[in-house]
Structure 1
């Protein structure tokens, strides 16, 4: 399952070398307590910086600080995507807590209490971070998405020529899957065909 730390890590991983250096400098220059010493982040990669953010500002405070710093270095799209992913993560956690509370209440009320149902989160949303990291057969998936008219030729070309694979996948989510459930269903069928072991592994983890 995704965590706040994983979402922050993904956001920083997506930065260019130049922007990561700017982010590191902005973090050290931040004047609001608690402050981060240069020695903690100098020469460090996105993994180490993520650890410093979470240990310094806690999982509750780190996302807001990360978004603030991204905006300060003009990475506004990355900041918005971070905010969106954190909101989805918290919403999912809230639903899990609500479901657990409902199940407890139903058990206390007995069989007459009835059962509450909620719409299940789509596989490709639930496992977004893992899919971005691990999908390899992206060209075959793009071919199907174009054939099924999920994406047009110009979007196909843009994603196809993007490097590395993780960024290709981020663009598939950003440009192809925003249209809704039908696009996600087609993408899921592609995953089952071209990434069967990965899909099986993720389904076992649910």
Structure 2
């Protein structure tokens, strides 16, 4: 008997450490879903085991959208390796064709991109936006113009943009933005830095002088 979507989904959930699995359920409960679908109630997720969560995802979102939801949540908790393994595992499911979510699909997931040799060599050198993560979260006074730039550059989907924008303070918006930034390559982070320079030049100059 061949593998099913439910099989590979369950395997992906079981690969998460206990704390990551709890965070996965927390984010899943909070996820903004496409029109026509409803969020899974938190009460059903709180004590749910891996098998239960896999079943709830398929039942509430169907196989196709359920995989999209799962990848979105894995990205949000910075489980990029597990997301990549899930995508690979889907290729082994007979009769299933995985399609990467588009920005119009209402998902925030962006598939991991293979590193170039140069990126692999320099990946241990932290990018500016990673080195100064705490300061940027705390001190960036106005986030929406940055979101506009990132959305225009296709680094944020519409759903991700709206999710960040709805946060009540700039600090909360930046903290939510970093759940996506954590999965980006350096060239994507360069675009964020470019936007920060444009809108908050004094802050960036201050951080660069340290």
TM-score normalised by length of structure 1? 0.43
TM-score normalised by length of structure 2? 0.42
Greater gyration radius:
1
Q: As a proportion of its length, which structure holds more helix? A: 1
